[in-house]
Structure 1
Amino acid sequence: MALVALVVSGCGTAGTARPAAQARAAKCTWFPANGFYHADVRKLPRHPRSAAFVRSIGSTGRLKADFGSGTWEGRPFGIPITKVAPGTPKVKVSFTYRSESDEGPYAIPKNAKVEGGRGAAGDRHVLAVDPAACVLYELFAAYPKAGGTWRAGSGAIFNLRSNRLRPAGWTSADAAGLSIAAPLVKYDETKRGSIDHVLRLTVPRVRNTYVWPARHRVGGATSASLPPLGTWLRLKSSVNLAKFPRSVRPILRALQVHGAIIADIGSAWYLSGTQDKRWNNDALRALGGVRGSDFEAVDAVRLRVSKNSGQVR
């Protein structure tokens, strides 16, 4: 599988990289090619509870892009990724959930974009990627403080050249303990016509456990009909992509080849993507032609090499 170099165009940029840094950045990708983010799930068997999981999310529900151009209810739409310029100083972050957060420091610039904008409520994710160092910094409920420091609910630092998972039971900036930035639908890869990774999905209810590759659980629901965090869903091969606008077919193709992982609580069948003014909202709305019943859960644990690693067979 050919991986595209990590080029974070169309994102908030904290500065201009020097040529040497750009050359190093070209060797950095969104995690290794042999990791679960890039796994092909077309041949995996259906999960024995697939039908129950899909019913619990909503068989008649519609797929929705939780991102787009412009604003939604007055706020920027989607989750932004800020590119870290060489020489950006690392700063201290104070955490509410300190015991499950990476201490840092974090290379997050003062002008880093916040999900929903600087005045937003909600999740307020901040995602900052340093392509030269191949390191990703992610914060949940992030608020800037005086002097360039931040406070946040939780945070995680990912080495993009490593398949190592977070400690068992730890959250990240996401409920499932996974990266948010890596599985986002990104405009440039969609425009290119090829998305080579799993996507991020939210659902209203989950069981109070988690399955690989997730590392964290939420809530108190115990019903076996509910999917745990980390559940992997695949768009059925019977879905005819030709009836959808050409610009969104790469998204649907990725859902057939790589699938989507339930990573957080939210609205049913909401697909996460980047904030980008170039999205065609009319085309993205066409994703609503996919129903919940067009998905099936798969037994992704069969891909696992080790419970503490994201490497796949």
Structure 2
Amino acid sequence: MAVAALLAAGAVFASTSAGAAPALPGTPTLPGAPTLPGAAACPVFPADNVWNTDISKLPVDPHSTAWLHSMHASTAFLHPDFGPNDGGYPYGIPYAVVTSAHKTVQVKFRYASESNRVPYPLGPDTPIEGGKNAPSDTDRHALIVNKTTCTLYELWQARYSANGSTAGSGAVWNLRSDALRPAGWTSADAAGLPILPGLLNFAQIQAAVRAGKPIKHAIRFTADSSAAAYIWPARHQAGSGSIAKLPPMGARFRLKTSFNVASFCRSSQPNCADAKAVLVEMQHYGLILADNGSDWYFQGAAYPQWPDALVSLLKQIPAKSFVAVNESCLMVNRNSGQARAKPGCPIG
């Protein structure tokens, strides 16, 4: 699929689930809102949410050079934090789609004061990042979407047990709402942001390429060092140091529009069209700093599993081809993820 076709189209990617529930009466999916494979009736936040906003025309942030330097962008390449794992659980963050019929449980939280203490549809069938036997000191994220109510549940260091389930923290979102978490609250992520809307999904990419329609959401990524600060739409920080030198949680980066997507790979190469679709997404929707971790690691869903050829191509994206953008001008309300263009603050 030609890159020009990807750029010109404006619709959402298609769901690959044949069994998705119909839209609930009175709560239609907004036109242009991304949907989730497996839960096509649910938007992954409204179309006007900052996660789903084209930031290709926003001004470069004045701290861009310093933030890139702190992440060693001149010599680094992006690293897909997902893909096949020979003999082990696939790399990436899995998610489950359930209905309201799924049993819910109470979860005991380590950080209860900043967690949503409601029943979670967590069970022995819930996929855990790294697999059921992942070490206790790893993230062990569990992401669950109730497609009946379009509610997103996310847990960090989740452990299900019939005798009492536990997690480090937990957060709940209405996928039809732009509401953010309370200021200062963490989530299953250090930035207090949801994880699911920032995950790449291989089925999503394939559908976008088949239809010639762009992937329309930002991608979650990590940095080794972050500032002791967060900026909209983030709600929490876990860093140290000055924002003048280090990126804060919520910082948005995009691939330069001058980057030559067309020549990135040969069309005869396996998964070249898929890689170009991701590059176009990075030019228009970019990356959001969501957690501390290795520099320039960006996240994707564990399933469906990723082909090695595509993962290898995505490892060739140079970090020096990114800039930080200032999206603060898009903010409508500090407690909402709604984004709106205004004079001097264009949406692509």
TM-score, scaled relative to structure 1 = 0.91
Aligned-partner Cα distance in 1 for 2:42–2:158 = 26
Name the amino acid aligned to 2:337: G
Partner in structure 2 of residue 132 of structure 1: 148
CA shift, 1:283, in A, is 1.9
Superimposed CA distance per residue, residues 147-187 of structure 1 (whole angstroms, 9 cap, x where no aligned partner): 5x520000000100000000000000011011101110011
Partner in structure 2 of residue 172 of structure 1: 187
CA shift, 1:2, in A, is 3.4
CA shift, 1:8, in A, is 7.4
Aligned-partner Cα distance in 1 for 2:86–2:299 = 15
CA contact (8 A) 1:248 1:287 kept: yes
Superimposed CA distance per residue, residues 184-240 of structure 1 (whole angstroms, 9 cap, x where no aligned partner): 001111111231101101110000100000000113323621000000000011111
CA shift, 1:289, in A, is 2.1
Q: Establish whether residue 84 from structure 1 lines up as the match of residue 104 from structure 2.
A: no
Partner in structure 1 of residue 61 of structure 2: 47
Which stretch of the first structure deviates more once superposed, 39-48 or 185-194?
A: 185-194
Partner in structure 1 of residue 225 of structure 2: 205
Q: Establish whether residue 182 from structure 1 lines up as the match of residue 186 from structure 2.
A: no
CA contact (8 A) 2:96 2:126 kept: yes
Cα 1:88–1:31 shift into 2, 3 Å: same
Q: Establish whether residue 307 from structure 1 lines up as the match of residue 316 from structure 2.
A: no
Aligned-partner Cα distance in 1 for 2:131–2:197 = 21
Partner in structure 2 of residue 145 of structure 1: 161
- 5+ residue gaps in structure 2? 1-9, 25-38, 209-213, 266-271, 341-348
Aligned-partner Cα distance in 1 for 2:274–2:12 = 20
Partner in structure 1 of residue 234 of structure 2: 214
Which stretch of the first structure deviates more once superposed, 151-160 or 242-251?
A: 242-251
CA shift, 1:86, in A, is 4.0
Cα 1:175–1:123 shift into 2, 3 Å: same
Partner in structure 1 of residue 11 of structure 2: 2
Q: Secondary structure at the match of 1:138?
A: strand
Partner in structure 2 of residue 157 of structure 1: 172
CA contact (8 A) 1:68 1:276 kept: no
Aligned-partner Cα distance in 2 for 1:206–1:248 = 28
Spell out the pairing of 1:1-313 with structure 2 (5 A cutoff).
2-4=11-13, 7=15, 9=17, 21-24=21-24, 25-59=39-73, 60-71=75-86, 74-121=88-135, 122-147=138-163, 149-193=164-208, 194-222=214-242, 224-242=244-262, 243-244=264-265, 245-313=272-340
CA contact (8 A) 1:93 1:152 kept: yes
CA contact (8 A) 2:152 2:173 kept: yes
CA shift, 1:4, in A, is 4.7
CA contact (8 A) 1:201 1:272 kept: yes
Partner in structure 2 of residue 12 of structure 1: none
Aligned-partner Cα distance in 2 for 1:79–1:228 = 23
CA shift, 1:91, in A, is 1.1
Aligned-partner Cα distance in 1 for 2:195–2:118 = 18
Name the amino acid aligned to 1:247: D
CA shift, 1:22, in A, is 4.2
Aligned-partner Cα distance in 2 for 1:29–1:181 = 12
CA shift, 1:69, in A, is 2.8
Aligned-partner Cα distance in 2 for 1:223–1:3 = 35
CA shift, 1:3, in A, is 3.7
CA contact (8 A) 2:221 2:299 kept: yes
Aligned-partner Cα distance in 2 for 1:37–1:264 = 16
Aligned-partner Cα distance in 1 for 2:207–2:11 = 14
C-alpha RMSD of matched pairs (Å)? 1.9
Runs of 4+ in 1 over 6 A off after TM superposition: none
Superimposed CA distance per residue, residues 73-102 of structure 1 (whole angstroms, 9 cap, x where no aligned partner): x34211001111340122101100000000
Partner in structure 2 of residue 13 of structure 1: none
CA contact (8 A) 2:52 2:216 kept: yes
Q: Secondary structure at the match of 1:208?
A: coil
CA contact (8 A) 2:13 2:207 kept: no
Count matched residues.
302
CA contact (8 A) 1:203 1:264 kept: yes
- 5+ residue gaps in structure 1? 10-15
